Structure 1
């Protein structure tokens, strides 16, 4: 097996001349003829190419190479295996088209090719495999229509072709497959109506067609004629009309997902669906805001296996019936938000003790929060915002120790924040905005070290001082305490909240001076301390916060000179009115000049200025030879100095090997240009779970990539850059050189996984809202602003793309993979060196000038950023096959906005009214804000991805514009 380049489990150690081949691992022979009949090497993390010599195993009936890392094309020679019955190549990295001569394997019963990178169309010749029972081609890049010849596969039981780019209609010939039990076509671009005969295929157990563009209505009697249906998944389409009443007879149905359609009318009784565990009616037009809308919930009490119920964002009215407490004790997720439900929250809801998620936002609930909610020991997310809830904030909140999200904003709650909230040590998001809460902020709030996303107590009646303990919230990103009655000094310890981006303290009674420690908040974007009683001067060091884009200190009692650099140089992002003793600043502020007191002071100042000038000139002349000598010495160095690696603490190969179970395939989470990434468990700086990037040193450029990544990340720190923890440069157990990098593990994987999901998740886990996409865009821009403008030497990333943007558990973006990164100084010192690099990025994301030999530049990164944003908003890769013959993603968007916005935007982020609108004149203000936000983002992306580098928008302007969009959109 010379085509195998990696064999971590030593499978081929037994494959030698001293052992009969019928005893080799993974090989099964016919005992009589001693000929190989089965080859099973599944799940061994093998790398390399599939050998064409396998086509010589003429007795082979089963070939299983699934769950490895094979690349290259599927050998044409496999078409010679005329006895082959089972071919499984799932979950590899195979490329190219499906070989048409595979259809010569006329005895094939199982064909599994899913989870690869296959392209092209499904071969028409596939229809000749008359014995085929199971075909899985899902999670590839297949295009074109589903061939009508598929109707010839009369023995087919399972057809899985989801998560591709297939287009057109479901062919009518599919109804010839009388034995078909499973049909999965989800996440494609299929259109039209379902063939009516599909609902007469009595063997069907699963229909999975979510996230396509199917339309029409569902037949009223469909569930009568599908007696064996267990899973019906058609969410994310354009189905209209009422939900078929025949559903009451679908007695063995387990999963029902009709969310994100245009269904109307009342929901029929579902009480006979005793096997139902998942029900999603999310985002339709069901109900008519009447008292009878929720009657169907009573019937769900008979569904004892229910685990997930979502009826959010419909038009359900009336009150929530007490019988909701009779739902299954296994129920873990209940989504009721975005309706017209009124009345009190029934106390019986507290009987659902297995709930992990409960959302009831944007309704008309009133009265107090039931004390029975204290039984929710497993609850992780509780969202009650934008209702009319009253009474004291309940003390039982402290019992909900698993909470990571608590939203009770925009209600009329009173009383104090209970100190018991300090028990919620997993809380990341706390939003109590716009209530009537009073009293001081309990110190326990500042002991919630898990708070990373939001602390919003604004628009309440909180009083007392802001304690020094606020500095404990080192990881908080947004803190809003505005419009309260807080007083006293703003503590210096607030400078310890090093992750702060938004700090809103306006509309209080803070006195004292502006703490100078605010200057240590290097990631701060918005600072509003207006309408307080602050005195003293504006700390000059605030102008050094390069990310600061909005500063408001209006209506205080400040005095002295206003700085002129950073945010203070842009009058449109600066507000200092109502401070009568301020002077200086940029001319647009129209402040009086700052006068020098006394003639003697002026003479002394002039003397000092002249003296300093003379000293500076002399010092420069003395140091000039030193500068020349250092520059000559640096010219001899490579662009990345190796000693930087040696400064990094290292970890042993044995530790990494043990922490990944021998680099087991089950821990493989991704791959890059120069290696593979594993999830591992290692005790390192308080990190238990880490990501380990193992370099494939056989690949040209891997050594240089290792050095580049170490040097690029060694001395940079930013919340939107992946953090390197350590590295390993050692010898593996085979005596070969081994290099690896260890990073913080990002639980939500890459942005690629979210934009182009390869796995169907019933509750749409992999769907990003517009707000989430906007936050990710801002995160990435912040990272590049830091790399280009904040580092001692600007760093060019050179390979920005969705797979190199990782998301943590709060969906905060972190830019990763610096294997191609360059320092700007190294490019300036050694300009010709860049031309020797074979790869300057990834096709589709790399700017056009790189292909013509230009040096890498910050403008090149801007181009990649622009393409990334276009992909996030359209859902289309820049390498989509539609972009041929001179067409590209930039031009596709440029000619489509503003008039054809709904045709190019990823439909998962558009409100349905905006999807359907031919013009925007009749949309409500919220939808107009969505349109405005999208158009603004598209224009920024187009400005960044212009063909000419000189015409591209700067990252400084990008970050400013993005935050203006965010402020407008959030409000």
Structure 2
């Protein structure tokens, strides 16, 4: 035994080791079991927070399977702890449970492309092992997580496509391992924090589509691994820092649609040798295109549109991989012969697909070498320049072109026959040139064409019948040429024609054939100002989608076809200056959406109807028909003659007796009804329209609690019929605006019903949304009525235009971008009310205090308290309701309302025009300086356009700190901004003309505003 005594200590150590090992194993097992239970509970809580699971993805999340086998879950094999939760793209709807913060071992969380809402739980900050966070394309709100310091291992963060607000937290600089970050498409404000310069591992950084402001953060230049920067559509400004051009790692740089200024250094492409994508369009960058671009062989996409570049375009022949080139809307070229030399160098770019140089100052002749451009070229856009000479036939070599735009230049001569090779052409735009000759027969070869525009040229001869082969054509415009002969029947057999056919202002003759009825889907048909004759074919009534029909200025004979009434969508009809005879068919008053009818200067006779469009003198023109009679009084026509009777005296006596008897009975009946209504009113304090009862209602108690007893500290405004309070309602789960009616005011009951009826069924992004209403009694038993709307954080437009009345926090003056956007928003709302509702709704009180602005400064038209008084509701016509005394607000109401004219869309357009002028001048229409017959319209008209500075809002002028300098002279605005202002003022003036018939309609206004935004404001958010 003595020999084995040395083993005793060894046995003790082994025993002790085994004991500790078993104890540790039991502890670890217990810890793992607790961790598993925690993960299991967290996942169950996650499932509980999901209210909608359309694909039933979470059905597998039940007790029959271990949670590590549930769909979208990945666990660590050894410890059975959740390491991945990935449920992207399943349209899950609900909030994100804070219990997810207990998944302490998770490395990847991907819930992208779902419908999660609410705030991102702060508990997510506990996930210290998280490497990848994907919450893209949801509806998460609130601020970005502030406890970012816990994410020491995070290397990918994708939060784009949500509703996040607030600023980018400065703590972002603590994410030392972050490689990719994309927080675009949110509502973030403030500046990009300088701490971003601490992200030494960062490769890609994206903040597109936010409201960020300030200068480009210089600290980004410290990031030596950064290859991608994208800051598209923000309010960033200032000059780009020089250090940016030393970031040799950059491959992708996009800052489109901001307010960056300054110029680009000539050698920038030498110091950025790896740059592939360069997008700076829609800014205010000056100077010439850097000459070093000639050697930038890595470039694939160059987008410099909508800036202020001048001079010549350098050679681009070494850009072998270039596929997209856009210089649109600059000031390039000087209308000289050398302007287009760079196109010759582009023939070396074999991958080129898009070339756009629209809206510059390029002159000279289009070189024949353009036909040697890439065979892959699909878009070639040269419109709105000064290019002259003939169109080179070599263009026909580009057989893969989809879109060719040569419009608004000075091209002359004929269309090359080689254009017949464009087998893939979809859009061909040659309008507004000096082209002549006949339209080529080969045009029929363009079988894929869906948009053909050749207006405003000098084409002559017949319309080729081969055009009938273009069976995909949706829009055809050959107007303002010298085309002759009959309209080929083949044109009317293009069944795809939907958007429009415009053959106006030519010398076409013959008849409008019966085949016009084959165009069942066409929306706009214009054959005006030609020499067409014969009768208007009855088959035109089969064009059931027609909205605008122009037949004026021809020699049409016969009667107006009564089946025009079958065109239920018709809005504009012009039959003037023809030889039409007979009476106006009564059924034309039944066309529900007809807003303008012109039958002037024909040979019509008989009684004019009084219903429909004929009930509004501003919407119908009938002059030059001396035998017409009757109609509404505002048309000032003679009364129609009474038919003769055999015994006039006897019949007259009987007729008078009948009339007196009827009047007497009506008086008695009226007296009885009045007594009955008075008694019923005493019995029941309120009367709600049946349509109001269809709205969800809220109790007085909930409104009382939500507004702290209608406390003055929650009072945010007052109107004609009551007060508006800010409130929090449990049933709406949101901050709301509560409009409490002052029922002591005359008309308040009607205002309540009017607003409910007007808003209960209409939905538009630029109209205030009614959430619910209250029709009850208060705690004292008094009648109580209130309306509940979405709360608009940024108050009314009036508060922004006139800050002296505002109580908004952190308010600044509105720049030109905001004003144009607001004008467009209001026009969009008005277009919806006038053109797109089932029943026409006239607002009647459009003014800045009735335009509310949400968090994103999107405008919402509000206060429909008198709209019901003029809209056709419950079968009442405009005439029935136009006798009510409420006519809108002084200064904004049109002058014709003051002399008793009926309410109309023209009245709303006047108010809109005055609102526009107030936004541009900063002057109220009731300003004390407007006296002795002077008004806002005349004030602007007298000084426009020569003295633009004297009528413009000083708040806008004061923002113009850095004016453009050209040829040593100081100019107040860049040409782009000046064009924009002139166009806006012109719309405001044309809408506020005194004569209702001469005012612009909302359709034309919205079209022009759309062009302004696209052409002038896409890259000019404020002044230079």
TM-score norm. by structure 2 comes to 0.65
Structure 1: stretches of 5+ with no match in the other structure:
643-697, 702-711, 721-767, 791-797, 804-814, 816-821, 830-857, 875-893, 941-955
Which residue among 481, 492, 516 is the counterpart of 1:470?
516
Output aligned runs, 1:127-138, within 5 Å: 127-138=173-184
Cα distance in 1 for partners of 2:826, 2:57 equals 47
Cα distance in 1 for partners of 2:821, 2:416 equals 31
Tell me how far 1:59 sits from its aligned partner: 1.8
Tell me how far 1:789 sits from its aligned partner: 6.0
Tell me how far 1:958 sits from its aligned partner: 14
Which residue among 780, 785, 789 is the counterpart of 2:832?
780
Tell me how far 1:81 sits from its aligned partner: 1.3
Cα distance in 2 for partners of 1:613, 1:228 equals 96
Which residue among 64, 89, 98 is the counterpart of 2:135?
89
Tell me how far 1:10 sits from its aligned partner: 3.3
Q: Residue 247 of structure 2 corresponds to which residue in structure 1?
A: 201
Q: What is the root-mean-square deviation of aligned Cα atoms in Å?
A: 5.0
Judged with a 3 Å threshold, the aligned counterparts in structure 2 of structure 1 residues 320 and 771 are, in CA distance, closer, same or farther, namely farther
Q: Residue 178 of structure 1 corresponds to which residue in structure 2?
A: 224
Q: Does 1:386 align with 2:438?
A: no
Structure 2: stretches of 5+ with no match in the other structure:
1-45, 681-686, 695-730, 735-756, 766-819, 843-849, 856-860, 862-867, 876-903, 921-939, 941-948, 1012-1024
Based on CA coordinates, which of the two structures has the bigger radius of gyration?
2
CA contact (8 A) 1:785 1:959 kept: no
Judged with a 3 Å threshold, the aligned counterparts in structure 2 of structure 1 residues 530 and 824 are, in CA distance, closer, same or farther, namely closer
Tell me how far 1:429 sits from its aligned partner: 1.6
Cα distance in 2 for partners of 1:775, 1:475 equals 27
Could you say what secondary structure the match of 1:127 adopts? helix
CA contact (8 A) 1:429 1:455 kept: yes
Judged with a 3 Å threshold, the aligned counterparts in structure 2 of structure 1 residues 773 and 128 are, in CA distance, closer, same or farther, namely closer
Cα distance in 2 for partners of 1:200, 1:29 equals 45
CA contact (8 A) 2:313 2:339 kept: yes
Q: Residue 321 of structure 2 corresponds to which residue in structure 1?
A: 275
Cα distance in 2 for partners of 1:937, 1:579 equals 28
Tell me how far 1:120 sits from its aligned partner: 0.5
Q: Does 1:12 align with 2:74?
A: no
Structure 1, 436-445 or 331-340: larger mean CA deviation:
436-445
Which residue among 511, 533, 558 is the counterpart of 2:579?
533
Judged with a 3 Å threshold, the aligned counterparts in structure 2 of structure 1 residues 530 and 8 are, in CA distance, closer, same or farther, namely closer
Q: Does 1:353 align with 2:399?
A: yes
Output aligned runs, 1:761-772, within 5 Å: none
Cα distance in 1 for partners of 2:275, 2:161 equals 26
Q: Residue 453 of structure 1 corresponds to which residue in structure 2?
A: 499
Cα distance in 1 for partners of 2:978, 2:194 equals 46
Output aligned runs, 1:673-684, within 5 Å: none
CA contact (8 A) 2:987 2:1005 kept: no
CA contact (8 A) 1:78 1:102 kept: no
Could you say what secondary structure the match of 1:145 adopts? coil
Tell me how far 1:478 sits from its aligned partner: 2.1
Tell me how far 1:466 sits from its aligned partner: 1.0
Cα distance in 2 for partners of 1:777, 1:595 equals 45
Cα distance in 1 for partners of 2:150, 2:55 equals 34
Cα distance in 2 for partners of 1:125, 1:967 equals 46
Tell me how far 1:5 sits from its aligned partner: 2.0
CA contact (8 A) 2:544 2:567 kept: yes
CA contact (8 A) 2:841 2:871 kept: no
Which residue among 190, 201, 204 is the counterpart of 1:158?
204
Tell me how far 1:209 sits from its aligned partner: 0.1
Q: Residue 24 of structure 2 corresponds to which residue in structure 1?
A: none
Could you say what secondary structure the match of 1:143 adopts? coil
CA contact (8 A) 2:325 2:354 kept: yes
Could you say what secondary structure the match of 1:118 adopts? strand
Q: Residue 223 of structure 1 corresponds to which residue in structure 2?
A: 269
Cα distance in 2 for partners of 1:551, 1:349 equals 45
Cα distance in 2 for partners of 1:242, 1:116 equals 38
Judged with a 3 Å threshold, the aligned counterparts in structure 2 of structure 1 residues 549 and 823 are, in CA distance, closer, same or farther, namely closer
Q: Residue 414 of structure 1 corresponds to which residue in structure 2?
A: 460
Structure 1, 605-614 or 563-572: larger mean CA deviation:
605-614
Tell me how far 1:828 sits from its aligned partner: 10
Judged with a 3 Å threshold, the aligned counterparts in structure 2 of structure 1 residues 450 and 800 are, in CA distance, closer, same or farther, namely farther
Tell me how far 1:520 sits from its aligned partner: 3.4
Tell me how far 1:456 sits from its aligned partner: 1.0
CA contact (8 A) 2:197 2:221 kept: yes
Q: Residue 931 of structure 1 corresponds to which residue in structure 2?
A: 984
Output aligned runs, 1:57-96, within 5 Å: 57-96=103-142
Which residue among 889, 899, 919 is the counterpart of 2:952?
899
Judged with a 3 Å threshold, the aligned counterparts in structure 2 of structure 1 residues 217 and 482 are, in CA distance, closer, same or farther, namely same
Structure 1, 289-298 or 13-22: larger mean CA deviation:
13-22
Output aligned runs, 1:702-741, within 5 Å: none
The one-character-per-residue Cα deviations of 1:141-175 (angstroms, maximum 9, x if unpaired) are 10111111111111111000111000000111111
Which residue among 256, 261, 264 is the counterpart of 2:302?
256
Tell me how far 1:547 sits from its aligned partner: 4.2
CA contact (8 A) 1:334 1:359 kept: yes
Cα distance in 2 for partners of 1:771, 1:454 equals 28
Output aligned runs, 1:489-528, within 5 Å: 489-528=535-574
Could you say what secondary structure the match of 1:365 adopts? strand
Q: Residue 234 of structure 2 corresponds to which residue in structure 1?
A: 188
Tell me how far 1:699 sits from its aligned partner: 11
Tell me how far 1:125 sits from its aligned partner: 0.7
CA contact (8 A) 1:4 1:48 kept: yes
Tell me how far 1:611 sits from its aligned partner: 6.9
Could you say what secondary structure the match of 2:412 adopts? strand
Tell me how far 1:327 sits from its aligned partner: 1.1
Cα distance in 1 for partners of 2:131, 2:221 equals 25
Cα distance in 1 for partners of 2:517, 2:986 equals 34
Judged with a 3 Å threshold, the aligned counterparts in structure 2 of structure 1 residues 587 and 309 are, in CA distance, closer, same or farther, namely same
Structure 1, 203-212 or 521-530: larger mean CA deviation:
521-530
Q: Residue 962 of structure 1 corresponds to which residue in structure 2?
A: 1002
Cα distance in 1 for partners of 2:640, 2:106 equals 90
Judged with a 3 Å threshold, the aligned counterparts in structure 2 of structure 1 residues 563 and 19 are, in CA distance, closer, same or farther, namely closer
Judged with a 3 Å threshold, the aligned counterparts in structure 2 of structure 1 residues 313 and 183 are, in CA distance, closer, same or farther, namely same
Cα distance in 1 for partners of 2:126, 2:303 equals 43
CA contact (8 A) 1:781 1:959 kept: no
CA contact (8 A) 2:618 2:997 kept: no
Tell me how far 1:127 sits from its aligned partner: 0.7
TM-score norm. by structure 1 comes to 0.69
Could you say what secondary structure the match of 1:175 adopts? helix
Could you say what secondary structure the match of 2:424 adopts? coil
CA contact (8 A) 2:380 2:401 kept: yes
Cα distance in 1 for partners of 2:491, 2:1000 equals 32
Could you say what secondary structure the match of 1:509 adopts? coil
The one-character-per-residue Cα deviations of 1:281-300 (angstroms, maximum 9, x if unpaired) are 00000011111111111111
Tell me how far 1:403 sits from its aligned partner: 1.9
Cα distance in 1 for partners of 2:693, 2:296 equals 68
Judged with a 3 Å threshold, the aligned counterparts in structure 2 of structure 1 residues 593 and 52 are, in CA distance, closer, same or farther, namely closer
CA contact (8 A) 1:464 1:487 kept: yes
Which residue among 537, 561, 576 is the counterpart of 2:622?
576
Tell me how far 1:636 sits from its aligned partner: 13
Q: Residue 41 of structure 2 corresponds to which residue in structure 1?
A: none
Q: Residue 556 of structure 1 corresponds to which residue in structure 2?
A: 602
Output aligned runs, 1:908-947, within 5 Å: 930-935=983-988
Tell me how far 1:70 sits from its aligned partner: 1.4
CA contact (8 A) 2:182 2:207 kept: yes
Cα distance in 2 for partners of 1:568, 1:473 equals 28
Structure 1, 249-258 or 604-613: larger mean CA deviation:
604-613
Judged with a 3 Å threshold, the aligned counterparts in structure 2 of structure 1 residues 568 and 337 are, in CA distance, closer, same or farther, namely same
Q: Residue 212 of structure 1 corresponds to which residue in structure 2?
A: 258
Could you say what secondary structure the match of 1:493 adopts? helix
Cα distance in 2 for partners of 1:772, 1:355 equals 34
